[in-house]
Amino acid sequence: MDMEILKTFLKLAAAFVLAALSIQSCKSEYEAVLNSNDIDAKYTAAFDYFNHGRYSKAARLFENLAVQTSGTEKDDTVQYYWGLSNYRFKDYYTAETNFAKFLTNFPRSPFSEEAAFLRIDCLYRSTYRYELDQKPTYAAIGVISQYLIENPKSTHAPTCKRMLKELNDRLDKKAYESARLYYKMEDYKAARVAFKNILKDDAENIYREDILYYIAKSSYKFAYLSVEAKQKERYLTFVDDYFNFIGEFPDSPYKKELDSLYKRSQKALGRYSGAEEDLNEKEKDFERERKKLLKQSESEG
């Protein structure tokens, strides 16, 4: 039994040694090619590694070749595949730098249009979700927009348009959620200003209906919580916001709620002539909310 164990151990040890030697041999072969001055051998090896999916090694070889083939007929091919190797290796930051440099150096290369799109894809993949910094998003939008102007009939145009819409929608969401944070914090004056500023900067924001709704809600709650001497002026502001919303979205699901607030504002202004019972359906809910908010304001003050 001990002999059997010994034989097994020796076989495993031999296999380990052979594997180590094989790895060392491959490493030595790769390093030899990498440090070689034989451009043709290195060029062939780079494509061999690339075609076998070994993109990190291919990228190092193409990077090394970029110096040796500068100014030759292989120059644009080497630089393009250097970027493509990094792209396939999912090193999008380095790949974007490669493609940007490539487009500057070889604007008329057969690879230029594809390099331009791959650069866009790198920028797109490097953007962050809406809660985080959106500088990369703005950068990507600028490059995509320019690409679509220069290549309107490109096969990549539909993909670029989809990217552009997604990135713009992300910016819309960030702006909307940032303003809504003031509303959640019950700072209704700041919320209204923030929502108004969104539409001032971008009238086509995809959350336009929600934004106009929150503008009206914020102005109503700001008036509702104000001291009596200032309520009239602030209710009139709500009335303007209400009509702005209704005029644009007469069939909105928010309309019923805002209609109720409008009736209450008219009552507060002494203008309401409807039946008193029309105002009583949610009177207790509103009064509870008012007391709660006033209590919070007093404790914070």
CATH architecture of 186-300: Alpha Horseshoe (1.25)
Q: Which residue has the tokens 């552009």?
A: 164
What is the identity of the amino acid at 99?
Answer: F
Backbone torsion region of residue 90, taken as left when φ is above 0, otherwise alpha when ψ lies between -120 and 50, otherwise beta = left
Q: Which residue has the tokens 């709660």?
A: 292
Whole-prediction pTM: 0.78
Which pLDDT score, from 0 to 100, does residue 28 have?
A: 81
Which pLDDT score, from 0 to 100, does residue 68 have?
A: 93
The total number of residues written for the chain in this structure: 301
Q: How far apart are CA 97 and CA 151, in angstroms?
A: 21
Instruction: Give the CATH fold of the 37-173 domain.
Output: 1.25.40
Other C-beta atoms closer than 10 Å to the C-beta of 207 total 21
Which pLDDT score, from 0 to 100, does residue 270 have?
A: 85
Mean of per-residue pLDDT scores for the chain: 87
What is the identity of the amino acid at 50?
Answer: F
Q: For the chain, which ranges sit under pLDDT 50? A: 1, 13-15, 17-26, 277, 280, 282, 301
Return the percentage of the chain with pLDDT > 70, whole number. Answer: 81
Identical fold, 37-173 and 186-300: yes
Which pLDDT score, from 0 to 100, does residue 8 have?
A: 59
SS (H, E, C) 162-225: HHHHHHHHHHHHHHHHHHHHHHHCCCHHHHHHHHHHHHHHCCCCCCHHHHHHHHHHHHHHHHHC
Q: Where are the domains of the chain?
A: 37-173, 186-300
Which pLDDT score, from 0 to 100, does residue 13 have?
A: 47
Which pLDDT score, from 0 to 100, does residue 231 have?
A: 93
